[in-house]
Structure 1
Amino acid sequence: MKRFTKLIQQLETSNKTNDKIAALMAYFSTADDRDKPYVIAMFTGKRIKRPVNTNLLKQWAIERSGVPEWLFAESYHSVGDLSETIALILPPPEKTTDKKLHEWIQALQELTGAPDDVKKAFILDSWNSLDIEQRFIFNKLIAGNFRIGVSNKMLVNALAKQSGTESNSIMHSIMGKWKPDEITYEALIEGLHVNTDSSWPYPFCLAYALDGEPENLGAPAEWQAEWKWDGIRGQIVKRNGELFIWSRGEELVTEQFPELHFLNEVLPDGTVLDGEILSVKDGRVQAFSILQQRLNRKTINKKQLQDAPIGFYTYDLLEYQGQDLRGETLYTRRKQLEEVLFPLPESIVTASPIVTFDSWDELAEIRPNARENNSEGLMLKKLDSPYHAGRKRGDWWKWKINPYTVDTVMIYAQKGNGRRANFFTDYTFAVRDGENLITVAKAYSGLTDKEIKEVDSFVKKNAIEKFGPVRTVKPELVFEIAFEGIAESKRHKAGLALRFPRIARWRKDKVAAEINTLDDLRQLLNATLEIK
């Protein structure tokens, strides 16, 4: 636990990739081998089952510390993190422990189903043997949510350097289904379990945002253009007579999309398709808001099947007849993909259409039409590129269309989490509806550190009301909000929802009387519906 606590501190206090990789390498070189699979699991988003309700933790911490509940609430609002707040208010420990990380996790898992008095005794005794930093990590283990600035790629690079194993092999190995209490570190790194799991997906190949003009990429004939679809990236895996559907978030979502189950009967064994799960009706891709009706549901009813039918637009062929094709060129993989998909019903599963063009100027004229088919822009892929694991600059680019924008006024603010816990960084924005203001979006990204401090100072000086951690502020600060789409929504008071809202800029040149109106957004919504 002490070694893991030190690792978290090092990762939290550095913004440099090389420093984080060095810290990870040092940890995996010295930690107990039984701890390492748990750390990899946590850093790759595999949540450990929560054994104790966080409300009970709060109740026990208040009782143990003797802090009044109102003071605990104020402390929580100031700190911004429940696990850290509990760690800070508890009295100093009266003893120490050398229990290892895997022993702590296993002990917590054994609490599942235990009476509350047993859980309480264990938690209080644990708090009494850990210092503040270790208590914070212990509380995070209970909550099951480690939000550390470590990407899968960074973790894999550290593991590859530490172990001497090829990074693509490690990336492949740590994806999919495995349990940290059932696999050794060596077996996980060496991928000894990969071939025993028919469902195993490949690491996704990702693209960088195009940061210049496409003319800088070279000859147009060397590139393939496709629409950038706005759905759920997924892989369809058919092996040993079984079909599996994986999302890019490494979730097995097979049961959510029964329309695709027929592929188990028509795809040859040893086939892996990479593509986009979309709502497709009458041959047209529907808005993402339609697809949302089908996501994260344990059961799918008849109405949902009718209102949001599913299709799969296929980008790539990663495996065919058991052969890994990722090292072949995109040109070769695409030709093979079209042969595989040819006998399938095109209305459900199809190759993502290629956008033909002879010059970059011609493609630039085509690009603004993306919204007509509910796509976000274009993908540019080099025809001689292999299928990389993760991102590799130079081969795949996403060339998105410019977002929609709306001028709004900030009316609510709330403190952030982690490093931003002392600043108001979570904002709610409104437009005008007659003489009233009506909220349309929340956003917390897009400002510089200097601007955050300015807004924080404004909130503290101009707060009108307080509702728990939320402050109502004078409606004076105008911000331009960028968003990718707009849709009707019964869940929002405004009757619409903005997709991926973020702060484009602080409009210091405007006053609140000049912001957009709800009618402006409704007109935009109607215009997008007419296009579709």
Structure 2
Amino acid sequence: MKRFSQLIQQLETSNKTNDKIAALVSYFNEADDVDKPYVIAMFTGKRPKRPVSTALLKEWAIEKSGIPDWLFSESYHNVGDLSETISLILPPPKHLVNRKLQEWISDLASLQGKEDVFKKTFILSAWDSLETQERFIFNKLISGNFRIGVSSKMLVNALAKQSDTENSKIMHSIMGKWEPSQITYQDLIGGAHVNTDNSWPYPFCLAYALEVEPESLGAPKEWQAEWKWDGIRGQIVKRNGELFIWSRGEELVTEQFPELHFLKKELEDGTVLDGEILSIKEGKVQAFSILQQRLNRKIINKAQLNEAPIGFFTYDLLEYKGEDKRSDVLSVRRKQLEKIVDNLQTKNVVILSPIVKFDNWLQLAKAREDSRDLNSEGLMLKKADSLYHSGRKRGDWWKWKIDPYTVDTVMIYAQKGSGRRANFFTDYTFAVREGDQLITIAKAYSGLTDKEIKEVDAFVKKNAIEKFGPVRTVKPELVFEIAFEGIAESKRHKAGLALRFPRIARWRRDKTADEINTLDDLKQLLLLTLNTSIHGTQQE
């Protein structure tokens, strides 16, 4: 536990990738082998069920520390993180213990189903045996919420360096279903479990955003262009008579999409397809907001099947007849993929993602302008001779997205962030105008420079009007341009609208709150998107 606590502290105090990788390598060199799978599980989002509610933790911490509720609330508002607040307000430990991380996690898991009295006794005893930083980690183990800026790629790079193993093998091994209590570190890194489970997907090949003119990429004939679909990236795996559907988030989502279950009969064993799960109706791709009706549902009713039928736009072949095809060039993989789709008896559910034909870059740029007509986000540019690599490799695949929608808004609420931003107001709520009222339309916390964050923070502290827990109401004076990818109706928001992927595009210091957009402006945009003609998606 002490060594893991040191690791978290090192990761939180550094913003340099190489330093973080070095800290991870050092940890995996020194830590107990039984702890290592648990750390990998936490850093890849495999969170156990929360054994104790945050309300109870807060109640017990207030009782243990002897401070009044109002002082705890003020401390929490200032610190910005519940786990850290609790670790700071508790009295010094009575007896320090040095236990393995695995032991703490196992004990916490055993609390499931126990009476609150039993849980309280264990938690208070744990707090009494840990230093402040270790208490913080212990509290985080309960919530499972580690925001430490470690991406899967960074973790894989560290594990590959520490174990002298290929990155792709590490990535393949740590994806999918495995339990840290049932596998050793060496078996996990060595991939001993991979071939025993028919469901294993491959690491996804990803693209960088194109930030230069496409002419700089070279001759058009060297590139394959496809539409960039706004759906759920997924892999369909058929092995040994079983069918599995994986999302890019490493979730097994087979049961959510019964329309694709016919592939269990029609796909050959040893086939893995890469593509996009979309809502497709009458051969046309529907908006992402419609697809959302089908996500994360255990039970799918008839109305949902009718309103948001699912299809799969496939654009790559990763395995065929049990043979890994990722080392074949894209043009070869594509030809084999075309044959597979053509041989399916059930048509128009698995659809070959169409190639956008072009003779020159100007022609392709004009095609890109029509992306929204297809409910597409833009174009994908893939080198015809590219391999299917793990993660991102600069130069092979590019995403050339269309410019986002934008709206001018005014900030009306602010809340402190977490981690390194815990002392600054960095989470903002923005509004548009409806008559004399301001109607909230989006929350965003990215897009400002460090200098701008400090300026906004100073403004919030000076111009706060009301306080609702950690949230501050501020004078509606700061105008920001918000960029977003789409707009849809929503009953969850007062405005009746929801923006997709909102983020701060820029601080409009040149505008006043009287010049922001209105709710009618956004409703007109919604109407425009709904009335946009959606062309057929058959390959030209």
TM-score range, shorter chain: over 0.9
CA drift of 1:489 comes to 1.5
Residue 536 of structure 2 corresponds to which residue in structure 1? none
Q: TM-score, normalised by structure 2?
A: 0.97
Deviation of 1:100 (Å): 0.7
CA distance in 2, matches of 1:496, 1:180: 42
Displacement of 1:253 = 0.5
Structure 2 partner of 1:340: 340
The aligned residue for residue 468 of structure 1 is: 469
Alignment gaps of 5+ in structure 2: 534-540
Any residues of structure 2 matched to 1:293-332 within 5 Å, and which? 293-332=293-332
Correspondence for 1:421: 422
In structure 2, the partner of 1:403 is: 404
Q: Which amino acid aligns with 1:369?
A: D
- Aligned residue for 1:326, secondary structure, equals coil
Q: What's 2:35 paired with? A: 35
- Residue 317 of structure 2 aligns with an amino acid whose one-letter code is L
Q: Give 2:530's aligned residue.
A: 529
Deviations 1:381-418 (A, max 9, x none): 00100001000000000000000111111111111111
2:408 and 2:347 mapped to 1: Cα distance? 42
Q: Is the 8 A contact 2:148 2:419 kept in 1?
A: no
Contact 2:12/2:419 (<8 A) preserved? no
Superposition deviation, residue 346 in structure 1: 3.6
Deviates more, 1:470-479 or 1:314-323: 470-479
Asked whether 1:157 is paired with 2:151, we answer no
Q: Which residue of 1 aligns with 2:126?
A: 126
Q: Tell me which residue corresponds to 2:537.
A: none
Letter in 1 for 2:220: P
Shift of 1:141: 0.6
Which residue in the other structure is 1:352 paired with? Answer: 353
Shift of 1:51: 1.4
Helix, strand or coil for the counterpart of 1:108? helix
Residue pairs, 1:163-202, within 5 angstroms:
163-202=163-202
Which residue of structure 2 aligns with residue 488 of structure 1? 489
1:12-46 deviation line (CA, Å, top 9, x unaligned): 11111111111111111111110000001001110
User: What do residues 174-193 of structure 1 show as CA deviations (whole Å, max 9, x unaligned)?
Assistant: 00110000000010011011
Which residue does 2:511 correspond to in 1?
510
String of CA shifts for 1:283-306, please: whole Å, max 9, x gaps: 110000000000011110000001
C-alpha displacement of 1:132: 0.4
User: 1:391 maps to which residue?
Assistant: 392
CA distance in 1, matches of 2:363, 2:132: 61
* 2: CA distance, partners of 1:62 / 1:223: 62
- What are the within-5 Å matches in structure 2 for residues 210-359 of structure 1? 210-344=210-344, 345-359=346-360
1:491 shift after superposition? 1.7
CA–CA distance in 2 between the matches of 1:111 and 1:526? 51
What SS is found at the alignment partner of 2:370? helix
2:538 maps to what in 1?
none
Structure 1 gaps, min length 5: none
- Name the amino acid aligned to 1:397: W
Which SS does the other structure have where 2:430 is aligned? strand
- Is 1:52 the counterpart of 2:25? The answer is no
Deviation, structure 1 residue 158: 0.8
SS at match of 2:379: strand
Query: For residues 76-87 of structure 1, what are the structure 2 equivalents within 5 Å?
Result: 76-87=76-87
Structure 1, residues 161-183: CA drift from partner, whole Å, max 9, x if none?
A: 11111111111000011000000
Instruction: Tell me what 1:442 maps to.
Output: 443
Partner secondary structure for residue 181 of structure 1: helix
What per-residue deviation string (whole Å, max 9, x for no partner) do you get for residues 74-130 of structure 1?
A: 111111111101000000111111111111111111111122111111111111110
State the partner residue of 1:456: 457
Q: Is the 8 A contact 2:147 2:419 kept in 1?
A: no
Residue 62 of structure 1 corresponds to 62
Residue 42 of structure 2 aligns with an amino acid whose one-letter code is M
CA apart distance, 1:322: 0.3
Q: C-alpha separation between the residues in 2 aligned to 1:49 and 1:489?
A: 30
What fraction of aligned residue pairs are identical, expressed as a percent? 77
Task: Give the match for residue 145 of structure 1.
Answer: 145
Equivalent position of 2:17 in the other structure: 17
Letter aligned with residue 527 of structure 1: L
SS of residue matched to 2:181 = coil
- What is the match of residue 110 of structure 1? 110
Q: Match of 2:348, as an amino acid? A: S
Offset, 1:443: 0.7
Measure the CA separation in 2 of the matches of 1:19 and 1:137: 21
SS for the counterpart of 1:148 is coil
What is the rounded CA distance, in whole Å, between the counterparts of 2:347 and 2:73 in structure 1? 57
What TM-score does the superposition give when structure 1 sets the normalisation length?
Answer: 0.99
Counterpart CA distance in 1 for 2:467 and 2:160 is 50
Q: Which amino acid aligns with 2:360?
A: S
1:209 aligns with 2:206: no
CA distance in 1 between counterparts of 2:398 and 2:297 reads 32
Distance in 2, matches of 1:483 and 1:392, equals 26
- How far apart are the structure 2 equivalents of 1:170 and 1:300? 36
**4+ residue runs of structure 1 moved beyond 4 angstroms?**
none
- Supply the AA of the counterpart residue of 1:238: K
Residue type at the aligned position of 1:524: L
Q: Name the CA distance, whole Å, in 2 between partners of 1:495 and 1:112.
A: 39
Matched AA of 1:315: Y
Structure 2 letter corresponding to 1:467: F
Q: Measure how far apart 1:343 and its partner are.
A: 2.5
Determine if contact 2:87/2:133 at 8 Å carries over to the other structure. yes
Alignment partners' CA distance in 1, 2:512 and 2:467: 24
Distance 1:227 1:458 in 2: 43
**How many residues are matched?**
532
- Superposed displacement of residue 49, structure 1: 2.1
> Secondary structure at 1:268's aligned position in 2?
coil
Distance in 2, Cα, partners of 1:52 & 1:431: 39
Q: Hey, what's the Cα distance between the residues in 1 that align with 2:166 and 2:457?
A: 46
Q: Could you tell me how far 1:530 is from its partner in structure 2?
A: 1.3
Deviations 1:341-391 (A, max 9, x none): 102334211111100001011101110100001010000000100001000
Name 1:95's counterpart in structure 2: 95
Q: Quote how far apart the aligned CAs of 1:246 are.
A: 0.4
Cα distance in structure 1, aligned partners of 2:418 and 2:143? 15
Q: 2:498 aligns to what?
A: 497
